[in-house]
A = this chain, B = another copy of it.
Amino acid sequence: MVINRAAQLDLVFGALSDPTRRGMLETLSGGAVNIRTLAAPFKMSQPAISRHLRVLEEAGLVRRQKRGREHHISVNSQAAEQARDWIAHYTRFWKQQFDAVEEYLNKQEQKNHVE
């Protein structure tokens, strides 16, 4: 492993920020497929698909096995779990903060009504 944890998160979140790539991952929920199957739902050139796939691969979200002339793509859940865990970790604190601010704002609201 060359790149650090933060850089890995950059790649994973970056990969997830595109709807085509999220669509591909959704397709992969059903199991490993070849690339032309992955490409089917999108009206976009084959090279474009190829590059989206590379982004997913570089983020560690999928892996590829060449099987003859076809490439079988499968999902690597670990990279996604890392991203999920980053969010989940902070969500605990954020939710507290969020609720505190909500409460504060509600109080302000009430004050305004009284004034």
Q: Can you list, as one digit per residue, whether each of A3-27 has a CB less than 8 Å from chain B (1) or not (0)?
A: 0001101110110111100100110
A79: min CB distance to chain B, Å: 10
Q: Which residue of B lies closest to A90 (CB)?
A: B29
Tier of interface size on chain A: 35 or more
Check A80 for interface membership: any CB of B closer than 8 A.
yes
A81–B91 contact, CB under 8 A?
Answer: yes
Main secondary structure of the interface of A (DSSP, over half): helix
CB distance from A39 to the nearest CB of B (A): 19
Report yes or no: A10 in contact with B6, Cβ–Cβ below 8 A.
no
* A31 contacts partner chain B, Cβ-Cβ < 8 Å: yes
A75 to chain B, nearest CB (A): 4
- The residues in A between 59 and 115 inclusive whose CB is less than 8 angstroms from any CB of B are 74-78, 80-81, 83-84, 86-88, 90-91, 93-95, 97-98, 100-101
Q: Does A35 contact B (CB under 8 A)?
A: no
Cβ contacts under 8 Å, A93 to chain B: 29-30
